[in-house]
Amino acid sequence: MSQPLKVAVAGLGTVGSGTVGLLEANAALLERRAGRTIVVSAVADLDRRDRGFSVDGYAWYEDAVAMAKEADVDVVVELIGGSEGAARAVCEAAIAAGRHVVTANKALIAHHGMELAIAAEAAGVTLAYEAAVGGGIPIIKGLREGLVGNNHRRIYGILNGTCNYILTTMQASGREFGEVLAEAQALGYAEADPSFDVDGIDTAHKLAILCTVAFGCTLDFDSIHVEGIRHVSSVDIAFAEELGYRIKLLGIAALTDNGVERRVHPCMVPLSAPIAHVEGVFNAVVADGDFVDRVVMEGRGAGERPTASAVVADIVDIARGQRVPVFAVPASRLEKLPAAAMSGHRGAYYVRLMVLDRPGVFADVAGVLRDHHVSMEAVLQRARAPDEPVPVVMTTHDTEEAAMVGSLEEIAAMAACVEPPRMIRIEPF
């Protein structure tokens, strides 16, 4: 009989408690599947409050870094969160002590994954992070193992359940962003400070990781173009529906002739695309492979149980003795590919203007677009009383981002334009 795999858990918040709970509840199942017993030997947290399970049988630490260095364990599970401070120190200490590391920390991997991977590979230990992207969706294993025989040119997805819940609810109810955000906070889907979610940072962390695993390139969070959903209005969502689209916050990475394009922003997605119908707090990731074609994975992207499921999957891999490179290839062999500038992106655009309904205004707008070589595809206008603001919606043919941005800056300066133009990119999935 193999020796038990001894696990230490740093951080007994929602995911940490869920992980311990899963390891206890499904202990017999995990032993059969892993071929050895998996036991929690130590835990670290600042608070000994009741979490629905007894901690009496575990070595208790208030100092998680000390636990990573000293505890008699094989694996340290970091569930503290944050890209710096204790979370980073725990992982570094565990690797230095020759212990495997499992984490759900997307910010840590996005910012410091290269250094941690190099250290783990040098130490001969595993650095696993399935739970960092997509919650319960096994997308890292999917890319790194199931789709290992494919070249990928593009990967994209809905990577933040909070934003998807907000946009789905706005679409269904016709309510505005602020009201739906408050509801999401009351339901526990959004944090008291929702900035990381609604401003796109959380999605960007996950996209940085997916890009590296899919393309074999070095992590490059700073090159990601990031926009959130604060400016999306119920008017935009209604027009999107009329035009045959849904608005989704997407993370998109693609290999282009100009380098790696990495972008996070709201998108108009055709109703015919599977990802358009992923609703509520669910996430979805789409990978395009040269042999497998298109693979879509959908599931709960956060929460205690789905995330704990992904954490435990990594622990079981370690118990089985399965080893794969951290990012599908050794960290030292990741390529430093050039980043494609967002200004060079080409695509179609949705534009909404609020302008005074006066003679000649639309001709002036058309003239600006002509001067910037932007070609309109369709125009929608809602009639109102003269001299009152009226929404004018346009879709364009494919054009360069720099031209689109330049034309909108010029239109915004027009006296008849009563609020900043709103632009949402159209994705032809």
Summarised one tens digit per residue, pLDDT across range 93-125 is 999 999 999 999 999 999 999 999 999 999 999
Torsion angle of C-alpha atoms 279, 391, 368, 362, degrees rounded to 10: 140
Instruction: For residues 43 and 72, state if they share a domain.
Output: yes
Q: Is residue 9 part of a domain?
A: yes
Identify the residue whose tokens are 């795999």: 5
On the question of pLDDT at 231 being above 80, the answer is yes
Instruction: For residues 115 and 152, state if they share a domain.
Output: no
Instruction: For residues 211 and 291, state if they share a domain.
Output: yes
What's the rounded mean pLDDT across residues 63-83? Answer: 94
Q: Is residue 41 part of a domain?
A: yes
| pLDDT value of residue 70 | 93
> What are the beta bridge partners of residue 44?
10, 61
> Domain limits at 362?
345-426
Instruction: For residues 294 and 380, state if they share a domain.
Output: no
Helix (H) or strand (E) holding 5: strand 5-10
Q: Domain with 363 in it: what CATH number?
A: 3.30.70.260
Note whether 355 and 366 are within 8 A (CB): no
User: What is the Cα–Cα distance from 351 to 422, expressed in whole angstroms?
Assistant: 6
On the question of pLDDT at 47 being above 90, the answer is no
DSSP three-state, residue 210:
helix
Q: Which of 106, 141, 206, 248 is catalytic?
A: 206
| pLDDT value of residue 356 | 84
On the question of pLDDT at 53 being above 80, the answer is no
On the question of pLDDT at 50 being above 80, the answer is no
> What are the beta bridge partners of residue 103?
78
Instruction: For residues 128 and 254, state if they share a domain.
Output: no
Question: pLDDT grade, residue 408 (50/70/90)?
Answer: very high
Asked if 336 is an active-site residue, the reply is: no
**pTM as predicted:** 0.93
Instruction: For residues 119 and 175, state if they share a domain.
Output: no
> What are the beta bridge partners of residue 391?
354
Note whether 397 and 348 are within 8 A (CB): yes
| pLDDT value of residue 1 | 52
Per DSSP, the residues of 10-23 read: E--SHHHHHHHHHH
Give the chain's domain count: 3
Q: Is residue 314 part of a domain?
A: no
What's the rounded mean pLDDT across residues 252-269? Answer: 96
| pLDDT value of residue 41 | 94
| pLDDT value of residue 320 | 95
Mean pLDDT, rounded, of the chain: 93
C-alpha Rg value of the chain to the nearest Å? 24
Q: Which amino acid is at 247?
A: I
Instruction: For residues 127 and 157, state if they share a domain.
Output: no
pLDDT tens digit sequence for 316-339: 999 999 999 999 999 999 999 999
Instruction: For residues 176 and 255, state if they share a domain.
Output: yes
pLDDT tens digit sequence for 343-382: 999 999 999 998 887 778 888 888 999 999 999 998 887 7
Name residues whose C-beta falls within 8 Å of residue 24's C-beta, 6 or more positions apart in sequence.
Answer: 40, 53
- Which residue from 112, 48, 123, 52 is spatially nearest to 85, judged by alpha carbons? 112
Per DSSP, the residues of 296-315 read: EEEEE-SSHHHHHHHHHHHH
Instruction: For residues 145 and 246, state if they share a domain.
Output: yes
| pLDDT value of residue 403 | 96
> What are the beta bridge partners of residue 248?
267
Q: Which amino acid is at 74?
A: D
Q: How far is CA 388 from the centre of its chain?
A: 40
Q: Is residue 340 part of a domain?
A: no
Q: Is residue 311 part of a domain?
A: no
Instruction: For residues 92 and 38, state if they share a domain.
Output: yes
On the question of pLDDT at 240 being above 60, the answer is yes
What's the rounded mean pLDDT across residues 52-80? Answer: 90
What's the rounded mean pLDDT across residues 384-388? Answer: 65
| pLDDT value of residue 388 | 73
| pLDDT value of residue 142 | 95
Q: Which amino acid is at 126?
A: T
User: What is the Cα–Cα distance from 60 to 88, expressed in whole angstroms?
Assistant: 20
User: What is the Cα–Cα distance from 153 to 214, expressed in whole angstroms?
Assistant: 8
Q: What is the DSSP letter of 261?
A: E
Q: Is residue 313 part of a domain?
A: no
Instruction: For residues 99 and 151, state if they share a domain.
Output: no
Q: Is residue 192 part of a domain?
A: yes
| pLDDT value of residue 302 | 82
Q: Is residue 317 part of a domain?
A: no
User: What is the Cα–Cα distance from 13 to 45, expressed in whole angstroms?
Assistant: 9
Q: Domain with 30 in it: what CATH number?
A: 3.40.50.720
Instruction: For residues 130 and 186, state if they share a domain.
Output: no
pLDDT tens digit sequence for 118-162: 999 999 999 999 999 998 999 999 999 999 999 999 999 999 999
> What are the beta bridge partners of residue 423?
351
User: What is the Cα–Cα distance from 86 to 189, expressed in whole angstroms?
Assistant: 25
Question: pLDDT grade, residue 304 (50/70/90)?
Answer: confident
Q: Domain with 200 in it: what CATH number?
A: 3.30.360.10
Determine how many CB atoms are found less than 10 A away from the CB of residue 307: 25
pLDDT tens digit sequence for 29-43: 999 999 999 999 999
Identify the residue whose tokens are 């509520």: 280
